[in-house]
Structure 1
Amino acid sequence: MTVVDLTIMPNKMENLTSRKMGVKAASEYLGVSTSTVRRWAQGGYLPGIKIGHRGVWKFTENDLNTVIKNPLDPEEFIHNHKDVPYNWASTKKTYEQIVKELSDIKYAVDQSSIVAVTDKDGIILHVNQKFTEISKYSREELIGKTHRVINSKYHSKVFMKDLWDTILSGKVWHGELKNKDKEGNFYWVATTITPFLDEKGRPFQFIAIRNDITERKMIEERKDEFISVASHELKTPLTSLKLNLQLLERELKKAPAQKRDAYLNKALTYTNRLSRLIGDLLDISKIQSGIVEYEMGVVDIDSIIKSSIYSVQPTSEKHKIVQKSSPHVKVKVDKQRIEQVLNNMLTNAIKYSPKSKDIIVDVVKDSDYVTISVKDFGIGIDKNMHNKIFEKYYRVKEVENSFSGLGVGLYVSHEIIKNHGGTMWVESAKGKGSTFYFNLPIHKSK
Structure 2
Amino acid sequence: MRNTDEMKRSSAEASDEATIVVNETGVIQSMNENALQLFQLDAEATGKVIQELVPGLNSNTMKQGVITQHVGRNSNGQQFPLFLRKNLFTINKIKYALLILHENTNSSMPGMEPQKVLNELLDMKYALDESTIVAITDQTGKINYVNEKFCEISKYTNEELIGRDHRIINSGYHSKDFMRNLWRTIANGKVWRGEVKNRAKDGSHYWVDTTIVPFLNDKGKPHQYLAIRKEITEHKLVVDKLQKSIQELVDLKFALDASSIVAITDKQGKITYVNDQFVHISKYGRKELIGRTHAIINSGFHPKSFFKDLWKTIGTGEVWNGEIKNKAKDGTYYWVDTTIVPFLDGQGKPYQYLAIRSEITKRKRIEEELQHTMNRIINVQEEERKRLSREIHDGIGQNLYSHLITINRLSTEVNHPLLEQMLEEATELIQEVRDFSWELRPSVLDDLGLIPAIRSFLNRFSESYHIDVYFDCSLSNRLDSNIEITIYRIIQEALTNVRKYAATDQAAVTVRKVESFIRVTVEDKGKGFDREQLSSGVGLISMKERARSVAGEIQVKSTPGEGTIVVLEIPT
Bin the TM-score by the shorter chain.
Answer: 0.3 to 0.5
User: Comparing both chains, which one has the higher relative contact order based on Cα–Cα distances under 8 Å and sequence gaps of 6 or more?
Assistant: 1
Question: Normalised by the size of structure 2, how large is the TM-score?
Answer: 0.26
Whichever of the two has the greater Rg, that structure is 2
Q: Which has the higher strand share?
A: 2
